[in-house]
Chains A and B, each alone.
Chain A
Amino acid sequence: MIFKQVAEIVGESNCLTEALQSYAVDGIVPKLVVFPENVEQVSALMKLADQERLAVVPRGSGTKMSLGNIPRQVDVVLVLKKLNKILEYEPDDLTATVEAGILLTDLQRCLKEKNQFFPLDPPFSSEATLGGIVATNSNGPGRLFHGSVRDLVVGIRVVHPGGVITRAGGKVVKNVSGYDMNKLYTGSLGTLGIITELSLKLRPLPEVSKTLLLRFSSLSEAARLVLQISTSELLATSLEILDSGAWEIMSRADPSINPGQGVAAPGVTFAARLEGLSENVERQIIQIREWGQQRGTTGAEVLVGDLHDKFWEKIQNHPQTFSVDASNTIRCKASLPASKVEDFFQTVKKIGHSQNLDPVMFSHAGSGIVYIYFGLEAVPTGVDRMSIFSYIIREIRNLSLQFEGSLVIEAAPTELKKKVDVWGPVGDSLKIMKLLKEQFDPHGILNPGRFIEGI
């Protein structure tokens, strides 16, 4: 019955009713997967879903389906990959308007022809769609210099439950007309509406881009160096710290990123991405190297060209780089004031060690973002793994809160999600958030239960 109505909207060839296991969210298999081709179809589907109280899970390439709590219900997975056009590209205005299902990589390829790019480098660089990136507020190491999703989206088109289509923002880079609804939808995990179109701010490609790697025997010196740079006049695009585990995985997977073996384990690796005019890239490399030497660096490498690209692709795609077996990995993201990264790193390590675990950690340290990877396999079978991990996560979360930050579990087995809230506490603004959800999705059909506090 529902299938028939849906098929009438999108055509039978755009509906899947069988073999839907791969579209399951936390093990909950949908009844139907639809592939609308345009915004009108999305609108019709949303009208139907609202009438029929169908739980809708919007989806792009599905790279971040692990994010969120276990859904209460999954009826229809709405895949937006067929909305994949570039609607407008104005190189002279450095703006573009695209459909939400376009792959980031496809957009970048097109922009590159004009020597421009969309300055966002989130994980899953070859599969992620723009809509998914915005809905999950997915960012990368370049946010230190270029900003994050919220800074780069200037306009948005959204289909709400009931099928109403709205626009917010515009196509120009500066706009204070009305509420900044772009911000509301960014990172809302599709719980307020389905993003179908985005207007974006672009940037010219830098003249030169290079990497400086430095090795330190202690985390402290690497972390201090990051702060020294970020509070100076230098203008690094990214400032990263990798613990020895992270570096080992990276260099084992591709030994070429350590060409002179200048950065050999053990120890902590510092990485800076430096971009812009050749003169200032060279100057920054010299300056940071010197500061590194003053801090007792034990080795250095400069990566250029392909090696540079490869290195940052691995960092950008850290979930793929560091989770050898995705279904058996817990990935946590802590966001902290930048000055707390060092303390946090050390304390998390201690918490892990107390349970005989050694998490892989790396950090967009200039931005105060720390990723922690736990392999499930590290805990021997026969032990209650979930109890151990839920304990660890509680501890790390308390630490993050104590440092005025937050901890989100970006990926974890469903069993663990049953024990811990992946988002953590929201604070005294929760009531407002719940009311917003009620206003925009009164019947709670969008991604029910996946977002914060049951939203």
Chain B
Amino acid sequence: MDKKSLIDELAQIVGVENVFHEPEDLITYQYDAYLSRAMPDFVVFPTTTEQVSKILKVASREKVPFVARGAGTGISGGAIPVKGGIVVALSRMNKILEIDFESRRARVQPGVINLDLSHAMKDKGFHYIPDPASQQSCTIGGNVAENAGGPHCLAYGVTTNHVLGLTVVLPNGEIIHTGGKALDYPGYDLTGLLVGSEGTLGIVTEIIVRIEHRPEAVKTLLASFSSMLDAAKTVSAIIASGTIPAALEMMDKPAIEAVEAFAHAGYPVEAAAVLLIELEGLKDGMDRLAKKIVEICQSHKAIEVKVAQNEQERMQLWKGRKCAAGAIGRICNKYYLHDCVVPRNKLVAVLSEIYQIAEKYQVQVANVFHAGDGNLHPLVPMDMSDRDQVERALRAGDEILKCCIQAGGTLSGEHGIGLEKNELMPLIFNEADLTAMKKVKAVFNPEDLCNPGKIFPTPGRCLEVTQRPR
């Protein structure tokens, strides 16, 4: 089928005003928030599950690849149409369909913005818990595809722990429903399998999520340390003490300096590391708990511990953390934001190794991360006018990842594999492990039209593989 007839057919499904195919349109759909890009052939904007189904039927009949897209804030290239084809843009499927406070469930379309959902329930004191850094922009559909995390996932779990049911259009256009408002439906947990499948198993068009009452009290502390090691030890000590904070975030010296230069969040510049600790729950006992945390920090040589006394001070303490990536972006014109996880008792060792790697490649590295669950985010600045520096930055990044894996960690904690790390998958999974995943893909997406080129290493590409001891 030629391009013209395909456009006509797509236009019949969604209306001519919802199909885009001119270069001036397609240019803006080459990218997401990852570095790479690739040009699609069409962008379509469906508004219903049935339209998505019809689009996929056409695509699978014509063997045209397709990829779903939310807000395009993913950082592993999940929404980049590497094989061209159709971008199924879900930004207009942005309705909150149902909020059932008594059952603590909401049913939404995939294009609903994460933070909008919480705002819609604010009056009733409810919220949707997973809070990725991009929650102001990113969509619930994208969160489902990537199994997004966020600072408050330490205590409450990531997206998959909050998603209970899905409506999915399979790559062949069939519509299925998994899970629902209740728990424990009979059969395989397809909902769990689909969350985090990075849009390679189908297109999710409706999502049932858990919603919860907001905590009664929040206490936020900022502890600064003169050594990174002390800060990392404090993290382990807090975890071991029997307290799981709602959030436990860490920033190292380069990050603090960048933040202070641009945001003036009031972090002590002389500190080598700061911990941002947030406690949530009932107000009763909160002060005692905070005191206990302060004591742990002090016994690990904290040079200062600030406790926010009101909401304004709390926002001020979070300000630095929230704008950290942006602040680092102001120092350099690009940076590579990594995402890896290590066991929490290995934090100290891994961080010191990261600094050594940076030194070896003569690049800077700033760390801003979810220390509480061992989810590191080393940021390596890149100078795009200097090819050699860029290459060194990328190589350092690779080595940092490998070092995390050697420490018993994993490739990605919340950003996804996408096309960023697919070639690295053999570092943590052997052929048999990957084959099991490919069997799943073969069931849902046998022709590999649905978001091709993601997650799995390219067949035939040789990679020197040193697997971690298993």
Q: How far is the CA of A345 from the CA of B182 in the complex (A)?
A: 16
Q: Kindly state whether residue B186 has any CB partner on chain A within 8 Å.
A: yes
Tell me if B460 counts as interface (CB < 8 A to partner A): no
Q: B345, A432: Cβ atoms under 8 Å?
A: no
In the complex, which residues of chain B have a beta carbon less than 8 angstroms from the beta carbon of A167?
429-430, 433, 470
Q: With a CB–CB cut-off of 8 A, which chain B residues contact A230? A: 104
B213 and A231 contacting across the interface, CB-CB below 8 Å: yes
Which of B20-28, B282-290, B385-393 lies at the binding interface? B282-290
B-chain residues with CB within 8 Å of residue A233 when the two chains form the complex = 125, 213-216, 282
Residue B230 CB within 8 A of the other chain:
no
Of residues 271 through 315 on chain A, the ones whose CB sits less than 8 Å from some CB of chain B are 276-280, 282-284
Minimal beta-carbon separation of B125 from chain A (angstroms): 7
Return the CB mask of B171-187 against A: 1 if under 8 Å, else 0: 00011111011111111
**Interface pair B184/A423, CB less than 8 Å apart:** no
CB distance from B439 to the nearest CB of A (A): 4
Interface locus among B89-97, B110-118, B154-162, B248-256: B154-162
Question: CA separation between A158 and B432, bound complex, in Å?
Answer: 11
Complex CA–CA separation, A92 to B195 (angstroms): 29
B357 near A: Cβ within 8 Å?
Answer: no
Asked whether A173 lies within 8 Å of B374 as measured between CB atoms, the reply is yes
Tell me, in angstroms, the Cα distance from A279 to B283 when the chains sit together. 9
A204–B244 CB distance below 8 A: yes
Cβ of A82 within 8 Å of any chain B Cβ, yes or no, is no
Q: Are B425 and A428 in contact (CB under 8 A)?
A: no
Q: Which residues of A contact B85 (CB under 8 A)?
A: none
Q: How large is the interface on B (under 10, 10 to 19, 20 to 34, 35 or more residues)?
A: 35 or more
Residues 415-470 of B at the A interface (beta carbon under 8 Å): 415-417, 421, 425, 428-430, 432-437, 439-444, 455, 470
Tell whether A429 is near chain B: CB-to-CB under 8 Å.
Answer: yes
Mark contacts of A162-199 with chain B using CB atoms, 8 A cut-off: 1 yes-contact digit, 0 otherwise: 00111110111111111111111011100010000000
Question: Residue A420 at the B interface, CB < 8 A?
Answer: no
Q: Within 8 Å of chain B (Cβ to Cβ): is A2?
A: no
Is B329's CB within 8 Å of the partner chain A? no
Within 8 A of B (CB), among A322-381: 333, 335-340, 367-369
A232 and B213 within 8 A (CB): yes
Q: How many A-B residue pairs have CB under 8 A?
A: 270
Question: Does A429 contact B177, Cβ atoms closer than 8 Å?
Answer: yes
Name the residue of chain A whose CB is nearest to the CB of B181: A337
Q: Indicate if the CB atoms of A171 and B182 lie closer than 8 Å.
A: no
A151 at interface, CB cutoff 8 A? yes
Using Cβ atoms and an 8 Å threshold, which residues of chain B touch A283?
282, 284
- In the bound assembly, the distance between CA atoms of A432 and B440 in angstroms comes to 10
A176-B374 contact, Cβ under 8 Å, with A166-B432, A233-B215 = no
CB < 8 Å neighbour of B436 from A151, A173, A181, A335: A181
B338 an interface residue at 8 Å Cβ cutoff? no
Minimal Cβ-Cβ distance residue in A for B165: A404
* Distance, CA A167 to CA B437, complexed state (A): 10
From residue B445, how far is it (CB to closest CB) to chain A in Å?
Answer: 11
**In the assembled complex, which residues on chain B have CB atoms less than 8 Å from the CB atom of A227?**
102
Q: Determine whether the beta carbon of A172 is less than 8 Å from that of B413.
A: yes
Cβ of B219 to closest chain A Cβ, rounded Å: 12
| Of A10-18, A99-107, A249-257, A433-441, the one with at least 4 CB within 8 A of chain B | A433-441
CB contact under 8 A between A175 and B410, given known A166-B436, A183-B192, A440-B439: yes
From the candidates A174, A186, A427, name the one contacting B414 in the complex (CB within 8 A): A174
Contact present for B408 and A204 (CB under 8 Å) = no
Which listed residue (B103, B176, B408) contacts A171, Cβ 8 A? B408
A171 proximity list for chain B (CB < 8 A): 343, 408
Whether A186 touches B192, Cβ cut-off 8 Å, given contacts A174-B158, A339-B102, is: yes
Contact in complex: A204, B242 (CB < 8 Å): yes
Indicate if B189 sits at the interface (CB-CB under 8 A). yes
Q: Is the CB of A177 within 8 A of B428?
A: yes
Shortest distance in angstroms between A168's beta carbon and chain B's nearest beta carbon? 7
A7 within 8 A of B: no
Which residues of the other chain, A, contact B281 by a CB distance below 8 angstroms?
235, 276, 280
Instruction: Write the nearest CB–CB distance from A199 to chain B, whole angstroms.
Output: 10
Check if A278 sits within 8 Å of B183, measured CB to CB: no
In the complex, which residue of chain A has the Cβ closest to the Cβ of B455?
Answer: A178
Docked-complex contact B161 and A147, CB < 8 angstroms: yes
Q: Tell whether B375 is near chain A: CB-to-CB under 8 Å.
A: yes
Give complex CA distance A368, B104 in Å.
11
What are 16 A-B contacts with C-beta separation under 8 Å?
A92-B239, A92-B240, A166-B432, A174-B413, A175-B410, A176-B417, A179-B197, A187-B184, A204-B242, A231-B126, A235-B282, A277-B284, A337-B182, A428-B174, A429-B187, A433-B187
Q: Give the A-binding residues of B (Cβ under 8 A).
A: 100-105, 125-126, 146-147, 149, 153, 157-158, 160-161, 170, 174-178, 180-193, 195-197, 213-216, 236, 239-244, 281-282, 284-285, 288-289, 341-346, 370, 373-375, 408-417, 421, 425, 428-430, 432-437, 439-444, 455, 470
Give 5 new A-B contacts, CB below 8 A, not counting A139-B184, A180-B197, A338-B103.
A147-B161, A235-B282, A404-B181, A428-B174, A432-B443
On A, residues with C-beta under 8 Å from B are: 90-95, 115, 137, 139, 143, 147-148, 150-151, 158, 160, 164-168, 170-184, 186-188, 192, 203-205, 207, 227, 230-235, 276-280, 282-284, 333, 335-340, 367-369, 403-406, 408, 423-424, 426-433, 435-436, 439-440, 451-452
